[in-house]
């Protein structure tokens, strides 16, 4: 075999082996290092404000980092507290609505049993029992089994809900510990940010640093573009929902529209997580006018998103709609619900590497070596 082909095959195997080793190391080390990665991301995000306080306000670097982290922590605590208070308020309101719904269902069921049609059906069933006594035990057993299945399903849902609450309470100390580690890592990384940058340039070749910098700039563009696209879509959803609720004369239309816009952040579920139960409840209690209006409004929101979202993502992130859809579906199949986010991120990373000519350089290395 030609020595050139042998060399190319060896270099190809070397590249594949390095990629496999890097992926295995990342997979193994991520559960151990993710608090420090989060700390680095937090330090990177807060670094502009730290530099501003350090250069303009003449704060020492450590003090600028401390003030910035305290401001960030205060803002997060305020937002989380407000969300929890709002959630508790909504749950209390929902409990009252559920009680009304249970009363309405009970009254409707009693009225249904008292109707002539149902009474006639009951009389025919009794006549059937008298004429066929052998079937009575079988039918009663089937009804009992069905009721038992329904009861077990309801009990399972309630148990799942309370077990989820208990698991969250048990995980609070772990979450607090991770948060402390993230903040400490962010403090030390941000405090010595410039020194770490110099060390990176000294430890690694200039070409590698330049390639990594190009990839990182592409990821920055895609990340902020994705955030911009989400803000645009949420704003459009909020405006459409608020206008629709005002036309339908729904009370607290502004607050409800803002909440539905926030719910729109949920992957895969989106606006439907709030609108579908609401309009279903309206139909259930007999408010056909509002239920129909909410259904039309939900359809308008879905149609608007289908037309606008691909264009917004394409212009903001630089991804075509078809590759984005393929990446989301593949991520969903491989990683579950979080794959809807992981899939597009992988595509963005690959595109950033392509723009930084990483694949071109790898191809040149495989074909010609270090020449």
Query: Can you give the residue ranges of every domain in the chain?
Result: 1-113+160-193, 204-371
Is residue 46 a contact partner of residue 186, using CB atoms and an 8 Å limit? yes
Strand locations in 206-327, DSSP E? none
Between CA 39 and CA 177 the distance in angstroms is 13
**Tokens, residue 198:** 């110099």
**Tokens, residue 236:** 């459009």
What's phi and psi for 291, nearest 5 deg? -60, -45
3-state SS, residue 102: helix
pLDDT at 15: 78
Question: Any residues with CB less than 8 A from the CB of 185 and at least 6 apart, and which?
Answer: 35, 36, 38, 39, 40, 43
Between CA 259 and CA 90 the distance in angstroms is 11
Rounded to 5°, the CA angle 202-204-209 comes to: 105
Strand locations in the chain, DSSP E? none
pLDDT at 161: 60
pLDDT at 134: 65
pLDDT at 162: 64
pLDDT at 248: 84
Q: Which among 125, 145, 144, 143 is positioned nearest to 133, based on CA atoms?
A: 125
The parts of the chain modelled with pLDDT lower than 70 are: 1-2, 86-88, 90-106, 108-110, 112-114, 118-119, 122, 128-166, 168-169, 207-209, 265-270, 310, 313-321, 337-338, 340-341, 356, 368-371
**Tokens, residue 254:** 């502004």
Tally Cβ neighbours within 10 Å of residue 312.
Answer: 18
Is residue 273 a contact partner of residue 259, using CB atoms and an 8 Å limit? no
pLDDT at 327: 77
pTM tops 0.85: no
pLDDT at 277: 79
Tally Cβ neighbours within 10 Å of residue 365.
Answer: 16
pLDDT at 139: 62
Q: Which among 183, 189, 223 is positioned nearest to 74, based on CA atoms?
A: 183
Q: Which among 218, 222, 225 is positioned nearest to 312, based on CA atoms?
A: 225
Between CA 314 and CA 334 the distance in angstroms is 24
**Tokens, residue 85:** 């208070």
pLDDT at 137: 64
pLDDT at 348: 77
């Amino acid at each position: 075999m030609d020595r050139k082909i042998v060399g190319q095959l060896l270099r190809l195997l070397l590249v594949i082996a390095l990629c496999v080793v890097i992926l295995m190391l990342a997979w193994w080390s991520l559960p151990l290092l993710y608090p420090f990665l989060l700390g680095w991301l937090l330090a990177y995000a807060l670094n502009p404000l730290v530099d501003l306080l350090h250069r303009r306000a003449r704060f020492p670097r450590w003090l600028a980092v401390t003030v910035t982290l305290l401001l960030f922590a205060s803002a997060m605590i305020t937002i989380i507290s407000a969300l929890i208070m709002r959630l508790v308020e909504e749950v209390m309101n929902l409990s009252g609505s559920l009680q009304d719904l249970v009363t309405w269902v009970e009254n409707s069921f009693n009225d249904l049993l008292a109707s002539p049609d149902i009474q006639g059906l009951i009389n025919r069933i009794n006549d059937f029992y008298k004429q066929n006594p052998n079937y009575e035990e079988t039918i009663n057993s089937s009804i009992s089994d069905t009721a038992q299945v329904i009861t077990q399903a309801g009990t399972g849902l309630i148990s799942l809900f309370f077990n989820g609450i208990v698991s969250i309470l048990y995980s609070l100390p772990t979450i607090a510990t991770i948060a402390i580690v993230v903040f400490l890592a962010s403090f030390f990384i941000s405090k010595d940010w410039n020194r770490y940058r110099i060390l990176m340039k000294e430890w690694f070749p200039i070409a590698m640093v330049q390639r990594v910098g190009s990839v990182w700039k592409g990821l920055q563009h895609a990340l902020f573009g994705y955030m911009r696209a989400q803000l645009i879509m949420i704003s459009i959803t909020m405006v459409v929902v608020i206008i629709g609720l005002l036309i339908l004369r729904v009370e607290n239309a502004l607050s409800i529209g803002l909440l539905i816009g926030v719910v729109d952040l949920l992957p895969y579920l989106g606006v439907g997580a709030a609108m579908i139960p609401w309009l279903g409840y309206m139909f259930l209690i007999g408010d056909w006018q509002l239920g129909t209006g909410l259904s039309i409004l939900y359809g308008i929101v879905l149609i608007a998103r289908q037309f606008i979202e691909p264009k917004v993502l394409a212009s903001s992130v630089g991804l075509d709609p078809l590759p984005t859809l393929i990446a989301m579906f593949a991520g969903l199949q491989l990683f579950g619900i979080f794959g809807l986010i992981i899939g597009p991120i992988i595509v963005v990373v690959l595109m950033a590497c392509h723009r930084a000519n990483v694949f071109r350089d790898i191809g040149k290395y495989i074909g010609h070596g270090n020449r």
